[in-house]
Amino acid sequence: MIQLHLSIQKKYFTIVAYDWLASTNQHILDNISHYASYKTIAVVIAELQTHGRGRRAHHWYSNLGGSLTFSLLWTTHLDSRYLSGLSLSISLSLVRVLVKFAKADFRIKWPNDVLFGHQKMAGILVECKANSDHTLSVVIGIGINIKLPLSFSIHADYPVTDLYQITGHKVNRNELLALILVEIYQLLKVFEIYGFRVFREEWLQFHYFQNQSVILHLPNKEIIEGEVIGVSDEGELVLQTECGQKSFTIGDITLRPKLS
């Protein structure tokens, strides 16, 4: 294990780096007491994740040296019901950095995937654990495709891309990590006071499905058709359906473009 401090943010973060972990999120969840004792925000990064996961327990693929996979532990006094928009806010922080870093047109697929075109290149997983002192431990996991094997797209269940394909050059992962952590730190300070609502309008500018007709597949197998109106101040997806406007919370909901 190698322990590092970001020089520009050592006041706020302690980075613990591993050659490999099954899952950076799970590692923090299994060791919350340890990482919560840090005087700074703990960030766990793995060169290789063997069992990384996304929403709905989907596997998040990472390859040695070709991914940026890390998780950070944020302790807050917010009630969990106020955190529904957190993953949306974090996705915005990623896009803010990536747009400047790669000079490309990135989009967000509700609630928390970052796309280039229709291809996924980054994802977020937020998990929470209540503490006895009435605080909430929030584990924010982030996976970014840096340079995937050429064969991976053949086996993937969804279209994927990486920063190497987008930019045409090798990306400095340390620099990218530093920029993202700075952006997230600043965002969390605002989010803890105001929630997602102050980021909503900016988030909508990057929303991949804004004003498009879609089909929603709900966990109970129900299928709903409608037009994406936007998202609420709490981060709910708002659709205009035949029965009027309906809102959907973050959960086991899959968003797909409607086939014409």
Rounded average pLDDT over 48-69:
68
Structure tokens at 9: 């943010």
pLDDT of residue 250: 60
Report pLDDT for 2.
Answer: 36
Range in 11-20, 24-33, 188-197 with the lowest mean pLDDT: 11-20
Q: Which residues pair with 202 in a beta bridge?
A: none
**Looking at the domain that runs over 213-257, which CATH code has it been given?**
2.30.30.100
Inform me whether the pLDDT recorded for 145 exceeds 90.
yes
Domain boundaries, the chain: 2-205, 213-257
The length of the chain in residues reads 260
* DSSP H/E element including 45: strand 41-49
Q: Is the pTM of this model over 0.85?
A: yes
One fold for 2-205 and 213-257: no
pLDDT at position 1: 38
Helices 173-194 and 86-102: angle between axes, nearest 10 degrees:
140
Name the token pair of 163: 């920063």
Say which CATH architecture domain 2-205 belongs to.
Answer: 2-Layer Sandwich (3.30)
CA angle 160, 162, 168 (to 5 degrees): 135
Q: Exposed/middle/buried for 152, CB within 10 Å: 0-12, 13-18, 19+?
A: middle
Burial label for 95, CB within 10 Å (0-12, 13-18, 19+), is buried
- Cα of 220 vs its chain's centroid, Å: 25
Please tell me the predicted confidence (pLDDT) of residue 223. Answer: 86
- The tens digit of pLDDT for each residue in 80-128 reads 888 889 999 999 999 999 999 888 999 999 988 999 998 999 999 999 9
CA 222 – CA 84 distance, rounded (Å):
22
What tokens appear for 116 in the block?
């280039």
